[in-house]
């Protein structure tokens, strides 16, 4: 489980003197720190000082320029297989001759992860970073921290009589784009696709924007993020593609699908991690439907999703690489499930059920492999709905071995990975602190 969010995030630069280098580099030289109210993400051992510092001595100009170059991707792009992902998200690649913090920044669109790792070598010189616990903050808080840092650096340039620089132009453009709703929408989709602004001259973004009326604007980001997650091996699917694939799917009725009673209130907003929203929705639905702690049988899962158990047949595989429900506006729908594995089909159908409950707007309800807030909410819902943690914990009775997890997976008709993730999220087994950190998992 995650700890309470820190109440503040600060990116700061305390001026120091540099006697050589370009004018902008000298003007913005100083002690660079990233910290919260209770943690430092840049602390390390300074070999010259022979002691610990709150951060390294670097030129704030270069880090500010990096923030400006990558602002849209830092703000919106999650972990992905995009070829240049590391360049846009890992601060230690800034270069310019400095030992930058081993910090990685990425977002699920609602919350931002700032991951500070120790230096890879224990004898790193001249500055050895000690790292910090993984930090997750509302993306608006990250935005505010960068927005406060940038004018301080630019102001420092003016104080030192440095005329307009490339940083000034970059940051002015970013602010103008953010202020224009149509441009901001385009930049956000480019970022979710794993692209820099206007970097690729194709019609992918235009096609996504054109499909907003049919699929729903919120679904566009999920489609874009899924494309990037697959390493841009394929262009994002269009509305026409989804219509063609849906024709091969199983019929469903939106009217017959279960809905949460009007009095149910789910946590919402950036202070609510995705796992919490999904978990609470699943618990509310299980309580409403009188499921208690029993496994969910195929016919019941299909009935609650408004379709028939045949949708779960392993022989009815969708050739799409993505599971989804597509509504036609008249109460009818089609459901396509990508996997031939029974447990995966059950899990994806539960994800679609959860998406209808939590994100009902729009005709397309995609269950992608992207690391967006919406997708993580779906996965959390499906895991808790199909295999509620309390029931799994009782079933295992302290036996968290691989064999015990396999037995639990078979009992609840889910994959062993689902059981393992539940146990990690609830602290029953250890998760790697950095290796597969998932924002608001």
The domain segmentation of the chain, as residue ranges, is 9-179, 237-425
Contact present, 118 and 130 (Cβ < 8 Å): yes
Coil, helix or strand at residue 30: strand
Q: In what order do the strands lie in the sheet with 323-327?
A: 250-253, 332-336, 323-327, 364-367
Per-residue pLDDT, 3: 43
Coil, helix or strand at residue 6: coil
Per-residue pLDDT, 316: 58
Per-residue pLDDT, 219: 93
Q: 27: closest CA among 199, 114, 152?
A: 152
Q: What is the pTM of this model?
A: 0.91
| 409-412 contacts at long range (C-beta below 8 A, 24 or more positions apart) | 409/343, 411/295, 412/295, 412/386, 412/387
Per-residue pLDDT, 5: 47
Q: 272: closest CA among 169, 348, 376?
A: 376
Per-residue pLDDT, 292: 87
- Nearest-5° angle of CA 309, CA 366, CA 405? 65
User: Which residues, other chains included, contact 139 with Cβ-Cβ below 8 Å and sequence gap of 6+?
Assistant: 75, 107, 109, 110, 111, 112, 270
Per-residue pLDDT, 2: 44
Distance between CA 203 and CA 221 in Å, rounded? Answer: 16
Segments of the chain with pLDDT less than 70: 1-7, 230-234, 315-319, 432-441
Distance between CA 38 and CA 231 in Å, rounded? Answer: 37
Distance between CA 17 and CA 289 in Å, rounded? Answer: 67
Per-residue pLDDT, 440: 41
Distance between CA 349 and CA 335 in Å, rounded? Answer: 8
Contact present, 119 and 77 (Cβ < 8 Å): no
Residue 78 corresponds to which tokens in the numbers above? 């999650």
Per-residue pLDDT, 398: 94
Distance between CA 92 and CA 58 in Å, rounded? Answer: 12
Contact present, 106 and 78 (Cβ < 8 Å): yes
Per-residue pLDDT, 317: 52
């Amino acid at each position: 489980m995650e700890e309470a969010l820190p109440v503040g995030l600060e990116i700061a630069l305390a001026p120091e003197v540099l006697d050589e280098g370009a004018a902008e580099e000298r003007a913005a030289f100083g002690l660079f720190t990233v910290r919260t109210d209770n943690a430092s993400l840049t602390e390390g051992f300074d070999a010259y000082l022979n002691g610990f510092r709150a951060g390294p001595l670097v030129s704030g100009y270069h880090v500010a320029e990096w923030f400006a170059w990558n602002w849209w991707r830092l703000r919106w792009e999650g972990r992905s297989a995009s070829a240049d992902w590391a360049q846009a998200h890992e601060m230690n690649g800034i270069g310019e001759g400095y030992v930058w913090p081993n910090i990685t920044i990425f977002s699920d669109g609602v919350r931002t992860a700032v991951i500070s790792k120790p230096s890879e070598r224990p004898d790193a010189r001249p500055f050895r970073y000690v790292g910090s616990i993984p930090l997750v903050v509302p993306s608006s808080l990250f935005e505010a921290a960068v927005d406060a840092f940038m004018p301080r650096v630019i102001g420092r340039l003016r104080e030192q009589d440095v005329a307009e620089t490339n940083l000034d132009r970059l940051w002015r453009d970013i602010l103008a784009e953010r202020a224009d709703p149509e441009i901001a929408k385009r930049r956000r989709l480019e970022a979710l696709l794993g692209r820099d602004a206007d970097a690729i001259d194709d019609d992918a973004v235009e096609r996504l924007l054109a499909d907003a009326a049919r699929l729903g604007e919120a679904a566009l980001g999920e489609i874009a993020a899924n494309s990037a997650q697959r390493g841009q091996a394929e262009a994002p699917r269009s509305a026409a593609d989804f219509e063609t694939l849906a024709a091969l799917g199983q019929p469903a009725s939106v009217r017959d699908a279960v809905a949460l009673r009007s009095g149910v209130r789910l946590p919402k907003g950036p202070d609510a991690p995705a796992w919490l929203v999904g978990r609470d929705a699943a618990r509310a639905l299980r309580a409403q439907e009188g499921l208690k702690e029993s496994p969910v049988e195929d016919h019941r899962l299909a009935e609650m999703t408004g379709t028939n158990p045949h949708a779960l047949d392993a022989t009815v595989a969708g050739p799409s690489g993505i599971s989804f429900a597509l509504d036609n506006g008249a109460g009818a729908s089609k459901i396509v499930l990508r996997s031939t594995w029974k447990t995966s089909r059950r899990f994806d159908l539960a994800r679609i059920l959860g998406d209808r409950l939590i994100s009902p707007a729009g005709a397309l309800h995609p269950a992608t492999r992207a690391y967006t807030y919406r997708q993580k909410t779906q996965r959390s819902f499906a895991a808790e709905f199909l295999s509620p943690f309390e029931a799994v914990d009782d079933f295992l009775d302290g036996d968290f071995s691989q064999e015990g997890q396999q037995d639990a997976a078979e009992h609840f008709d889910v994959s062993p990975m689902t059981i393992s993730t539940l146990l990690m999220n609830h602290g029953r087994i250890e998760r790697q602190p950095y290796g597969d950190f998932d924002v608001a998992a």
